[in-house]
Amino acid sequence: MALSAFCVDNKIDYHLHFDSQGVYRVTLADLKRGESAKIVAIDSKENSVQRLMIMGLVEGAEVQCLGRSLGGDPMELLIHGSALSLRQMDAQYFSVAHKAENDKD
């Protein structure tokens, strides 16, 4: 289930994603321009997601959001030194942990 909500303090629109147990998770779809994250889990049931995994979107991969198109979809990610365009619908299947600027691993 996905819900939209606004973060009042930062005035940023976040999409809230909950797993089957009702636990909130952050996905690639939540990344804003310039933010970096590490993929921590993947819901790989969809064929499109399996194709993206072959292209390098796997657990442990580090990604950076380079930006979004004018309408917000698709988004562009930097992964393994290459730019990859990703639809919001597919980005929701990749759970991530935000990476702080000073994180080395």
As given in the structure block, the two tokens for residue 104 are: 């080395």
Q: What is the mean pLDDT of residues 67-96?
A: 92
User: What structural domains and CATH numbers belong to the chain?
Assistant: 26-98 (2.30.30.90)
Q: What is the mean pLDDT of residues 66-84?
A: 91
Q: pTM for the whole thing? A: 0.72
Contact yes or no for 77/64 (Cβ under 8 A): yes
The pLDDT value given to residue 12? 44
More confident residue, 23 or 30: 30
Q: What is the mean pLDDT of residues 22-48?
A: 86
Mean per-residue pLDDT of the chain: 79
Burial code (b: 16+ CB inside 10 Å, e: under 16) for 32-60 equals eeeebbebeebeeeeeebeebbeeebeee
